[in-house]
Structure 1
């Protein structure tokens, strides 16, 4: 009967039929999260309809931190954990650090960094109102502040020349390739969090040019990019007067370009 509670195997079967590659793992998360049979059925229905799993659950695991992810907000990617790892390698957990999460989305990067750096002063910003609301939920408990506006514009002027770690997971999908993204991203995440302009590097260039005004001496800008965009990203860092470097992870298929203010 259609009104009967869904068994674990039935959840797996429905998810697999909908094309969910990791149906067993997703079913386990849905079963653990749902508050009763009715909610489980509703969550499975939303997932089967194509809603990203993280939007269905209301959260994502990111670098060991459970981050709230509201509908319509960019879902943090597992490969971006490599950017967090690189940022942490530059920091001293025992010393204060000024951390800025630019284009913060849910605030996942900032939350992960502040969780590992208990003395950090955390600031985050995004142009998308829904992202700002979500990020505030994630960073408030860590003493962080979130601002709404375009890139550096909403940040307090007192941060100029003080930022030690500037993590900017900018949109970097070329405009004419946004339509090729999986439906989960294309249909359920804001375009402003995906579209990076004609070659995908428009936002990154703006960040690299303005970053030196905000970075402390020796401070580092970190951005994620695709393999084919690496030469352009390195050039943008250098054009901004930063010492550019590429680090990669074959395991996570991640490319992080860093720029240090000399």
Structure 2
């Protein structure tokens, strides 16, 4: 839910934002009633504001009656500094990684207790993954997420460890075991997952640092890490160092 926007005193802007924030990776198409419910608004109010958002180019109404985010709003989102700066700098390094491995390559940052995917490169030979550009996934179940969690403030770590949801049978849900992994990640300089987010998919990821600050994570998803882990870690670290120097 986007918040208690139905209370007296809620501004028109806050109600419109609640409608826009009702969309997420799991809710890309919403009916009017679903929008009203997720934004905590009366249906008549939602109907009026959604009409204005459609007229203003922020939302699009499909022939089915469902609403989706308009391309214009998506283009505006790409202007966010983390999008334009880090994505543009990382692009050539990610292209080189993808060309060399033919695997899915991820660029991500932390947003609260979730990992936000800024970019993804994949091909026909890549392992199927659930991530998409702009999607958010649990920190504890992804390679890039574990890297970001390992370098997050302690309050973020505690909040993440309090909600270790099981995604697959192999997802780590024990706080003590996850803390041990985070310590090892900080020591080794990389993180791995083995079918913890998607069955049949393993990942390895490294931090991207600018100075002494971790600003993102770079990862690769492959069917197995048994043979090529060292090679993939080395390639990721070289790319991450290049990105970090360019940012810094």
Q: TM-score range by the shorter chain?
A: 0.3 to 0.5
